[in-house]
Each structure stands twice: as C-alpha cells, then as structure tokens.
Chains A and B, each alone.
Chain A
Amino acid sequence: RKEVEQDPGPFNVPEGATVAFNCTYSNSASQSFFWYRQDCRKEPKLLMSVYSSGNEDGRFTAQLNRASQYISLLIRDSKLSDSATYLCVVNIREGSGNTPLVFGKGTRLSVIA
C-alpha cells in the first residue's frame, strides 16, 4: 500500500466552481501534513499546512482527520490560476527530526474559462 494516496484526476472544473481533493496516508505515526502546489515543470510550493482543527486561507480550506488518516483540500471560487497539480504531503518526524517529506502523486486540476 502506498504511503500517501491521492486521486490523480484530472479534475476539469469551470471558473467559480468549488472543488475538493482527498488524500489518505498509511502511516499512523505521521505528524505533520501539508498541501503543496506544483505547476508544470516547476518545483513544489507550499500551499498550506494542515492542522487537526482545520484551517482556512482565503479560498482554500484544509481538513485533517487523524482517526481516518484522511486529509482534504477545498478550493472555493476557482480561478484559472488555480490550475496546477496539488500534492498531499506528510512528514513522519522521528528522533532528530531529519525525516523527509513523503509526497502523494498529486491531483491535477484544470480550471476552465
């Protein structure tokens, strides 16, 4: 079983739509959770961290369910510029803390005019 699983998409949505992405992780020792955004042929960029209480940043809302080992990202009022691949990322912090991030394969979003 893969450590971080995401629906690869693509999700094709019209401008203004609300879209949600889901992600599951297999290691219950995972301690930190993130959504990254990656544009074509570019490096990943941190979109937001995900907290147990849920957190919101403008049009983006992230939720974490530790019991189900499930993370979600909701994008409201989609813009053309939101078109990208969204990566679900977890970190299993152990000991010294020098543990790398584990990436999902990403979910591709295309927002259409």
Chain B
Amino acid sequence: GAVVSQHPSWVICKSGTSVKIECRSLDFQATTMFWYRQFPKQSLMLMATSNEGSKATYEQGVEKDKFLINHASLTLSTLTVTSAHPEDSSFYICSARETVPVTDTQYFGPGTRLTVL
C-alpha cells in the first residue's frame, strides 16, 4: 500500500514554543491530506482538511490561527502548533488520499506524539 511519513515521531517542548509537524506521501500524490488529533482513550478527531494550493478547511472548534496548515506541494503538508500549551499535548496523525485513482482509502502517517511541558 501507499506510504505516508510523519516527522518528527515525537517531540517535547516548553510551553509557548511552536512545533512544526511534516506529513509526506512518499510514493503517491495527495491533493488532499487530513490532520487528526487523538487524546488518550479517545477516538481520532478530525482537525482540518488540507488541500494543495488552497486554504485548509478547519473543523468547528479548531483555531486556525493556532494550528497553521500549509500544503505547498502534492506530497507535503505541514501542521504548526503555535504557542503550544500543555493542553495541546496529544497524538497528531495525518492521512492522505491518493489523487489518482480517486478512492476513499486513506493512508495514515505513523503519528507525532507531542508533549508540552
């Protein structure tokens, strides 16, 4: 199957700093990528839909100025958590859907575990 990578795998940072997470589709092009967040023992919650060359679409309750998304190419989307606080500590997972063929299958990255002290 298609491969999606995420970097970094985990990060620990101080409160107030910004953290950038990269999501790459390695062997396919992805016009659309999705960013999810998962708190312990909770389900994945969609944060935003990232579209190549246009603005991301954020889910209700997700602050677009805090979670900056850039989808500059067909293989890379980035999520920047700005001025991170302890409540932002979570497991952030991206997924990508192949541009061609158009299917409903999404391929997930391995996730990034963020801990804000």
Which A residues are within 8 Å of any B CB, using their own CB? 31-32, 34, 41-46, 49, 87, 91, 93, 97-98, 100-106
> Min CB distance, B110 to chain A, in Å?
5
A and B contact pairs by CB, cutoff 8 A, 19 listed:
A34-B104, A41-B91, A41-B113, A42-B110, A43-B93, A43-B109, A43-B111, A44-B93, A44-B108, A49-B105, A97-B104, A98-B31, A98-B49, A100-B106, A101-B95, A101-B104, A101-B106, A105-B43, A106-B43
**Residues of chain A with a CB closer than 8 A to B49's CB:** 98, 100
Bound together, the chains give a CA A46 to CA B102 distance in angstroms of: 17
Question: Contacts A43-B93, A43-B109, A98-B32 hold; do A93 and B104 have CB atoms under 8 A apart?
Answer: yes
Bound together, the chains give a CA A45 to CA B93 distance in angstroms of: 12
Which B residues are within 8 Å of any A CB, using their own CB? 1, 31-32, 34, 42-44, 46, 49, 51, 91, 93, 95, 97, 102, 104-111, 113
**Residues of chain A with a CB closer than 8 A to B104's CB:** 31-32, 34, 91, 93, 97, 101
> Min CB distance, A106 to chain B, in Å?
6
Dominant SS among interface residues on chain B:
strand
Contact A45 B43 (CB under 8 A): no
Bound together, the chains give a CA A32 to CA B107 distance in angstroms of: 15
Name which of A100, A105, A106 has the most chain B CB atoms within 10 A of its CB: A100
**Residues of chain A with a CB closer than 8 A to B97's CB:** 98
> Min CB distance, B50 to chain A, in Å?
10
Bound together, the chains give a CA A94 to CA B117 distance in angstroms of: 41
**Residues of chain A with a CB closer than 8 A to B95's CB:** 101
CB-CB nearest in chain B for A93: B104
**Residues of chain B with a CB closer than 8 A to A41's CB:** 91, 113
